[in-house]
Structure 1
Amino acid sequence: MNLADVARRAGVSSATASRALSDHPHVAVATRERVWQAARELEYVASPDATGLARGTTGRVAVVVPHLARWWFGAALEGLSGALRAAGLDLLLYRLGDAEARQAFFDELPARRRVDAVVLLGFGVDERERERLDRIGVGIVAAGTRVGSHPSVSIDEYAAGRQAMDHLLHLGHRRIGMIAAADPELDLAQPAGRSTAYHAALADAGIEPDPDLTVTVTWSPESGARAMSELLGLADPPTAVYAHSDEIALGALRTLRRAGYRVPEDVSVIGIDDHPLAAITDLSTVAQPAAEQGELAAGTVIAGLAGEPVDPLVTVPTRLVIRGTSGRPPGRRGAS
């Protein structure tokens, strides 16, 4: 299918169809929608030769994010945008909204061809979305996630979870709760890797897992606070809590302190991320360099546009940061 086919289906000239697919402001809204509908029905893929947008000539990179308010996305975006700007590349930001808006974005993606590359920040895609990405014909780079065989920059989620769990086990904790995160918009490898680490660490320590010690919540401090209340309500509460993120851990800390528990004398808490508030609240955590992941993703884009070889899989190391919320369990204070 070519542009002329789209124009005929929409009942407009090829020039109007081209302007509509480029989101030209002088095309009427109804006409633009008619052209886009025709392009979707015909599964039209824009030709870079026909549109004059051969790879490396637009000077623009599309960055797709599911969230803007959360710390990791903001930090990764800052690192990414700075590196792209230094290379003379402009950034087009696309925030995925609800399920309908997300479907529309991926439906229209192959027809856009207004960028030299696409960067996906911290969310997974299904098979249909991956196929649409493959069809656009430009470089695809993932940061904080992995998308098929496309180059990616991320941490090892399992390794990060093991750093947190092994720290608690080393301190002597045996009854460890986990507040797991569930977010369908994020890469499923995040919660999966962090949960796998929890169970593997317990197994290596010879500890039988107690399903009552795992609470799964959405990715927010409020959810972490509610989950901590649930864990404290158990007949035998945990002496330590491993949270999938610092945001969740901060909510857990609020509940503990309001309930009169001492941290870490009564209950230890550890998260993952090294959120800016982690240092202020003295939260033990596993740090991941979010801005660096964005910078490295930008470097991969720049190298790809220059025709240089790129590393298909960059794993950024994490590090354990021990602060004041993790200590030995009750009854083992002063033990060597």
Structure 2
Amino acid sequence: MPSTIRDVAKKAKVGIATVSRVLNNSPAVSDETRQRVLNAIDELNYKPNLIARQLSIGKTQTIGVILPYLTLPSYVERLRGIQSVLDESNYDLILFVAEIPSKRDTFFEKLADKSRADGLIIISLPPTDEQAERFIHENQPVVLVDAYHSRLSSIIVNDIQGGRLATKHLIELGHKKIAYISDYLNTPFYPSMQYRYKGYRKALEEEKIPYYQKYHLQGDRGRFYAQQMTRQLLNLKDPPTAIFAASDTHAIGALDVAQEVGIKVPDELSVIGYDGIRDAEYVNLTTIEQNLFESGVESASMLLTMLREKPSDVYKAELSIKLVIRNTTAPPPNPDNHNL
């Protein structure tokens, strides 16, 4: 028969309330008494009733993570960072995948209730003012990643600067016919795509290079759709000499098509990605690297700080980005003839 809290109290020669204080890490217990209780727990192999403990302390001991995709590499890497922090805490991780806006809205409404989770990390899903107000009203701690709201804590990178940095790298190599492929920009998900596009446009404008709509293609997320967009670009009468892909997944899709049709990268086509996923290194992809794992670590650490201190405080952190030059970018072919 499993040991009970009463058995632990009897063996440690303390009251049940004292055992409860030790289990809840209360400072109101002397070191000597705490050690005696811990020894009794160990000897009796006592396992507290999790549900009862949650009810007694008024917490779920869970952190909810809401994100639009589960299998894409950039999200997996962020989740690894989050889990690495929670592994060292008393909190469990629960995932909520919101692939469509209606699911996002449902999760935002239900999880604002603290009886569902003690805190939330929301990735690539910017809340509306009304949704942010509900989180605040319910006193639900929230950290946004790859999303922003002025009244909520967030971990961000400067994606406009990142888009500019990627495009400037191609321009400095001599490219003027630069395409941009991305997810759909007009979407409630992953606003970073639009910011990177703004950086792309900004770099072209700074260098007085005309923007051509034909060189900007957008579609559904994923490698397959990136392949479709790349085929469309390369079939143009005047195809681009370089492609800025809004994610490394898009960029790898572009590399697939270049290999398929016999176009040499980077001699005949330059490709730059964005994110710095592990596959980018494997394929020697030039990319804008943001530390995805670190963004997960920082978001979980920030949320745990809010839970320990003041959940209502708003924290902001901006992580660095950098250009990583590998083997998929080079000067354009026939540099004397690349003008539009």
- Measured against the shorter chain, the TM-score band is 0.7 to 0.9
How far has the Cα of 1:52 moved from its partner?
Answer: 6.1
Aligned residue number for residue 123 of structure 2:
121
Gaps of 5+ in 1: 1-50
SS at match of 2:87: helix
Asked if residue 318 in structure 1 is aligned to residue 336 in structure 2, the reply is no
Aligned residue number for residue 291 of structure 2:
289
How far has the Cα of 1:262 moved from its partner?
Answer: 0.9
1:155 to 140, 154, 157: 157
| Structure-2 separation of matches of 1:264 and 1:191 | 24
8 Å CA contact 1:125, 1:187 repeated in 2: no
| Structure-2 separation of matches of 1:237 and 1:95 | 38
CA deviation string 1:15-37 (max 9, x = no partner): xxxxxxxxxxxxxxxxxxxxxxx
Alignment of 1:116-265 (within 5 A): 116-182=118-184, 184=187, 186-188=189-191, 190-265=192-267
Aligned residue number for residue 78 of structure 1:
80
Gaps of 5+ in 2: 1-54
| Structure-2 separation of matches of 1:302 and 1:109 | 17
Change (3 A) 1:243 1:97: closer
Matched-pair identity in %: 26
CA deviation string 1:155-214 (max 9, x = no partner): 1111111121111011011111111222735232x1111110111100111111111111
TM-score scaled to structure 1, two decimals? 0.77
| Structure-2 separation of matches of 1:99 and 1:142 | 17
What is the RMSD computed on CA atoms of the aligned residues? 2.2
Tell me the number of residue pairs that the alignment of Structure 1 and Structure 2 aligns.
280
| Structure-2 separation of matches of 1:225 and 1:103 | 31
8 Å CA contact 1:109, 1:132 repeated in 2: no
| Structure-2 separation of matches of 1:91 and 1:330 | 50
1:67 to 61, 66, 69: 69
8 Å CA contact 1:256, 1:262 repeated in 2: yes
Aligned residue number for residue 331 of structure 1:
334
2:108 to 106, 128, 133: 106
| Structure-2 separation of matches of 1:320 and 1:287 | 6
Change (3 A) 1:100 1:175: closer
Change (3 A) 1:102 1:150: closer
Aligned residue number for residue 14 of structure 2:
none
How far has the Cα of 1:112 moved from its partner?
Answer: 5.1
TM-score scaled to structure 2, two decimals? 0.76
CA deviation string 1:209-243 (max 9, x = no partner): 11111111222111111111111121211111101
